[in-house]
Structure 1
Amino acid sequence: MDSGAGTSADHIEQAPLPVRVRKGAKSNRPRSPPAAAQTRCSTKCAPASETQKPDEAQDPQHRPWEDLPVDILGVVVGRLPLVEDRARLRSVCRAWRAAARLYRRPPPPLPLLVLSDFSFASFCAKGTLSGVRRHVPLPERETASAGSIRCVGSFEGWLVGVEFNKGRYFGDLRCFLMKAFSRDVLRLPPPSAARPFDAYSWSLPVVNGSGVMNFNAGPCVMSFCKVVLSTSPDSGSKCVAVGISIIKSAAKLAFWQSGMKWWCVCDGDCITELVDIAFCQGKLYMLSNNEFTTDLFAFEISEDNNGLMVSRVEGAVVELPEVADNIYQTWSMVEWRGKLLIVATYSGDTEFGFMIFQVRVFEGDLSTNPVGFTEVQNLDGDCIFISPCSSKSFRLCHNDGAQEDLIYFVHGNLCPEKFVYNVKNGMMKRLAAVGSEDKFWAADGMNAAWLFPTE
């Protein structure tokens, strides 16, 4: 893993993000301590070796900011839902930085929406998005080609980036995992690099289904539109990355695991039109459409001498409730408390244009074929965030003012819309964004991804 100067926190703290100010303000500056406190002491921390005068040591009004009690700092951090605000607190001095991390683990910060060019918007507790802010800093090696670098996935605090070939049909030039706001980078094999002639291959029949899945490390041209990870690259467990590649209507899956020099490519007659992929309970699930049915495939992943090995593929037919012929369905998969959910979005042409008018959430019973589905009426206080590149369930109840049992959508190019769906009452509303929206939809067809920072 590559590592440059500075930690994750250091990088944000050295270049503070702008904060929102009321209309009419002249500039955006990092927040300062209260004005009353500024009249009493400097915001700069006194060096540890500095000797205080006896009368100052007895007067609380003259104590430096670094002496603020650790338990108070812990409470303050827990009340800051935005990752950039937590970074500003840590940037006050080293004592605050250490106290913020050592006292107790605060609730996870609210997610960010990372756009295809790595600029981002912050999600606020009241259910709105800030305007597009500065870019997530790219690794030094990728900066030279920043115009062709796109985000195609995320997992916790990590982003998946690719450098795409402008011809698109020639495949991506390279792929990497990057810890946001850090210099930690894990470079993956180029998606379209030539493989050795002695590359291994194997085939597996689809259990409880028909057809065969072919796996090989031979030459293949791939252009990723979505990549999912089994775990965080710095979790201590081996991280498995799986990407969806679609070139000239040819759909493929690509598998990679830590230590592998090449992608393992999966194709076959069973894979026609890929809908979505997601990890759940250690397995990879894939939704695929063909002319007659929609199928759900489960891949069991193990290891052999060559690295990653798909040891079993099981199929099942998906039979969601039927809708009218003129209705377009979009399906997304997400793991929620160990269960696999399918979120179905129904849209179509109306007198007001192409609109999304219904959302339904189903929990899949993976033990049956066809897969049994039960409609979900509440998320037990959780929320779900869905975008073309990433989907995740998240508990918002730790943040004051946040509503529960909502699904936040950022749709792609077919219907470029941001909206919120209430699972309990079925109501939908637009997901408000502050400022210009011209960056929320990339002209080259790339999409946004939700990012969930860990601190």
Structure 2
Amino acid sequence: VLRRLPSLADRLRLRAVCRAWRVSATGLPPSHLHLPWLVFGDGTLLDVANNTAHRVRIPDDAVCYSAGENTFFLVHDDGRCSLMDVFSGTPVTPLPELAALLAACNVNARYELLQPITRVVVSPAASAELEYRLVAVMIRTGKFLLSTCRPAGEPNTCVALDHYFDFSIADIRFFQGKIYALSKINETLRALDLNNGYLDELPPSPSCIDVICGVRSEFAMTEEPHLQKDPWPYGHVVAGRYLVECNGKLLMVRRWARKPLISFSYYSMTEFRDKDGYDLERTRRWKKAQGLDGWAMFVSSRCSKAATAASHGAREDCVYFAHQWGRRDPDNPIGGSGVYNMRDGVITRPLLPEPAAVGGSMLWSRRFPAWVFPIEV
């Protein structure tokens, strides 16, 4: 029966019937031919392959943020913070020190309209490079907080890294024992060695940060195939930049959008004041990737990840991107999403052949889908 169930949700329901069924299912290989799911800020899970919606129970007094993989970062009304597994629905790790630092920064997570927390990233499990798991939190004011994630009862170390990355950050990523930050404008990449997770022993100044140069004329990518086929007369702009680990490499993904007729704003003025005062003689440069070596990439503003295409029933050398819910089409929460084929430069829309099975009453601040990766246990 398990082999005939294409839906991961149905497979999990079958295993949950009783202990005997669950034990019998452990001897079968997992069903990997399913795409990752999408999660919204109200706890709605969307099974993309089957266009079916499920719901995760979020505490009434908490605001949740996708923290990548299959993890939520919860901030309660009383200031408590914790990590929660998306599918079990149980808070697994309290983070009292990080909660205290957020309170010191006057972060009101309940004020969702301005999205005070813009990005949450959790490092992979403990390894030779990182003894402790780490949680990185980006705040709209420009601050960048980093905390260890130790078992309950053990004290955590928590620091603010805003003086290490003095620019407007587009994305952050843990990679090979370091944390990388990508500049929005110049696409400069800076990396800080995390000293195996001992945050109280970080370098006292940013002078030892590794730097990768930003945009150069040979890397402008103004002649991308999908832009050549778009007749929009006003040109295009980079609407998003994402860092993704893929097959042992750290890649930057650009998302292009049609340039609006009126693009002037106070925020666009201030973001062009990025500083590049570090020693650029030690730098490397971006190199354009021609393909993903048979992998597939899943990109969203909250969580991005790459995996072998065969492990998720995806197409090789393709980027699956999830765009936020636009106000012009409230009946389709992922209307701007699709698949970009790196081999021929073709974008296929929509991601789903029909409107997604997600309610239309969702608050605007929670209409930012993120990829989650279910694990059969």
Larger Rg: 1
1:380 is matched with which residue: 276, 281, 293?
293
Cα gap change, 1:191 to 1:422, in 2 (>3 Å): same
Query: Could you tell me which amino acid in structure 1 is paired with residue 56 of structure 2?
Result: V
Determine if contact 1:396/1:404 at 8 Å carries over to the other structure: yes
1:240 is matched with which residue: 134, 150, 164?
134
**Structure 1 length normalisation: TM-score?**
0.60
Looking at structure 1, the residues matched to 260 and 40 of structure 2 have their Cα atoms a distance apart, in angstroms, of: 29
Determine if contact 2:66/2:73 at 8 Å carries over to the other structure: yes
Query: Could you tell me which amino acid in structure 2 is paired with residue 243 of structure 1?
Result: V
Show the 5 A alignment for 1:32-431: 76=3, 80=5, 82-104=7-29, 107=32, 110-124=35-49, 130-131=51-52, 133-138=53-58, 143-146=59-62, 149-155=63-69, 157-163=70-76, 173-182=79-88, 183-189=90-96, 191=98, 193=100, 219-222=104-107, 223-232=116-125, 238-247=132-141, 251-257=142-148, 258=150, 259-261=154-156, 263-268=158-163, 270-289=165-184, 293-302=186-195, 308-311=200-203, 312-319=208-215, 321-322=219-220, 327-329=236-238, 330-349=240-259, 370-398=283-311, 402-412=314-324, 417-430=336-349, 431=351
Looking at structure 2, the residues matched to 96 and 234 of structure 1 have their Cα atoms a distance apart, in angstroms, of: 34
Deviation for aligned residue 1:453: 1.7
SS at match of 1:97: helix
Determine if contact 2:317/2:342 at 8 Å carries over to the other structure: yes
Query: Could you tell me which amino acid in structure 1 is paired with residue 140 of structure 2?
Result: I
Residue in structure 2 matched with residue 207 of structure 1 by the alignment: none
Instruction: Report which of the two has the higher share of strand.
Output: 1
Determine which structure has greater relative contact order: mean sequence separation of CA pairs < 8 Å that are 6+ residues apart, divided by chain length.
Answer: 2
The unaligned stretches of length 5 or more in structure 1 are 1-32, 34-72, 166-171, 196-217, 352-366
Deviation for aligned residue 1:265: 0.7
Cα gap change, 1:145 to 1:108, in 2 (>3 Å): farther
Looking at structure 1, the residues matched to 235 and 281 of structure 2 have their Cα atoms a distance apart, in angstroms, of: 30
Cα gap change, 1:368 to 1:243, in 2 (>3 Å): farther
Determine if contact 1:137/1:181 at 8 Å carries over to the other structure: no
Query: Could you tell me which amino acid in structure 2 is paired with residue 153 of structure 1?
Result: A
Residue in structure 1 matched with residue 365 of structure 2 by the alignment: 444
Looking at structure 1, the residues matched to 320 and 202 of structure 2 have their Cα atoms a distance apart, in angstroms, of: 33
1:65-107 deviations in Å (ceiling 9; x for gaps):
xxxxxxxx6xx2xx65543122123134422211222444554
SS at match of 1:227: strand
Instruction: Report which of the two has the higher share of helix.
Output: 2
The unaligned stretches of length 5 or more in structure 2 are 108-115, 223-233, 262-279, 328-333
Determine if contact 2:157/2:199 at 8 Å carries over to the other structure: no
Cα gap change, 1:375 to 1:314, in 2 (>3 Å): closer
1:235-282 deviations in Å (ceiling 9; x for gaps):
9952111111113xxx12111112444631111284221110112222
Number of aligned positions between the proteins: 318
Looking at structure 1, the residues matched to 200 and 5 of structure 2 have their Cα atoms a distance apart, in angstroms, of: 41
Determine if contact 2:16/2:22 at 8 Å carries over to the other structure: yes
Cα gap change, 1:231 to 1:398, in 2 (>3 Å): closer
SS at match of 1:371: coil
Query: Could you tell me which amino acid in structure 2 is paired with residue 411 of structure 1?
Result: H
Residue in structure 2 matched with residue 9 of structure 1 by the alignment: none
Looking at structure 1, the residues matched to 247 and 221 of structure 2 have their Cα atoms a distance apart, in angstroms, of: 29
SS at match of 1:444: helix
